[in-house]
Amino acid sequence: DVKVTQSSRYLVKRTGEKVFLECVQDMDHENMFWYRQDPGLGLRLIYFSYDVKMKEKGDIPEGYSVSREKKERFSLILESASTNQTSMYLCASSVNLAQETQYFGPGTRLLVL
């Protein structure tokens, strides 16, 4: 079974803090993705990576950066957290192309105060 894990299920941070969200997959998948999910807005793609050290902006990259130093790990960084970044963050991975299924981690609920 594919397993995607995320470092925290719940996180509370203060405005201005630097926040790291970690995601690890154990199936040697090429592609990894970060989404946020908000009520009424659905899932929105923040960044994705199709190879180690490679990254592409998604639909809403502003205020975020990512890091992929190893194939199995994809980190999402909030350089200076703001209240409008309070959300559910979901990491996903897929084998190679978009034709393949994306497998999601359990999500991190982030609250920025």
Partner 1 sequence: RKEVEQDPGPFNVPEGATVAFNCTYSNSASQSFFWYRQDCRKEPKLLMSVYSSGNEDGRFTAQLNRASQYISLLIRDSKLSDSATYLCVVNQNSGYALNFGKGTSLLVTP
Q: Which residues form the interface with partner 1 (CB under 8 A)?
A: 31, 33, 35, 40-43, 45, 48, 50, 56, 58, 90, 97-99, 101-107
* Dihedral of the alpha carbons of 41, 15, 91, 65, in degrees to the nearest 10: 100
Residue 98 Cβ vs partner 1, minimum distance, rounded to whole Å: 4
- Both tokens of residue 18? 């630097």
Residue closer to partner 1 (CB basis): 17 or 58: 58
| DSSP-derived 3-state class of residue 49 | strand
Residue closer to partner 1 (CB basis): 82 or 101: 101
Residue 14 Cβ vs partner 1, minimum distance, rounded to whole Å: 24
Residue 62 makes CB contacts below 8 A (sequence gap 6+) with none
CA atoms within 13 A on the CB side of 108: 25
Residue closer to partner 1 (CB basis): 2 or 77: 2
Residue closer to partner 1 (CB basis): 17 or 95: 95
